[in-house]
Amino acid sequence: MFGGVNPSQMKGMMKKMGISQVELPVKRVVFEMEDGNLVVENPNVMQIKMQGQESFQVTGDIVEESVEVFSDDDVEMVASQSGKSEAEVRAALEDSDGDIAEAIVSLNALNKN
């Protein structure tokens, strides 16, 4: 980062400027977003305190996870009403953005075809 400055000198300079940083023993970091989760696996997390503010630096392996907008109870209800498999029901609920009634109607329409 700064040529010619060893890590212990850098730490001393940061301490003089009122900056402290601590590595946190974190196993996983999840950023919950509206359209899914951003997950950092095997993270290296540094907590940085400077001028009364705290911030976090996160590095690691990034994985995106989608978030289901329906529960297992919803899946069971739609399956019982439509007679379809769990996989078919989950697909219908995803297509309908978790709208149970719409999923049942679409699956029952498949039965008539």
Closest CA to 70 of 86, 50, 51: 86
Tokens at 103, concatenated: 């999923």
Segment 82-106 shows an average pLDDT of 93
Tokens at 13, concatenated: 């300079």
Q: Is residue 46 part of a domain?
A: yes
Cα angle vertex 37, ends 31, 43, to 5°? Answer: 50
Segment 4-33 shows an average pLDDT of 90
- On whether both 79 and 48 belong to a single domain, the answer is no
- The three-class DSSP label of residue 69 is coil
- Report the CATH number at residue 57: 2.20.70.30
Give the tens place of pLDDT for each residue, 67-81: 777 899 999 999 999
- Report the CATH number at residue 85: 1.10.8
pTM of whole model > 0.85? no
Give the tens place of pLDDT for each residue, 24-64: 999 999 999 888 899 999 999 999 999 899 999 999 999 99
Q: Is residue 6 part of a domain?
A: no
Tokens at 56, concatenated: 């976090």
Q: Is residue 45 part of a domain?
A: yes
- Domain enclosing residue 55, as ranges: 17-65
- On whether both 55 and 83 belong to a single domain, the answer is no
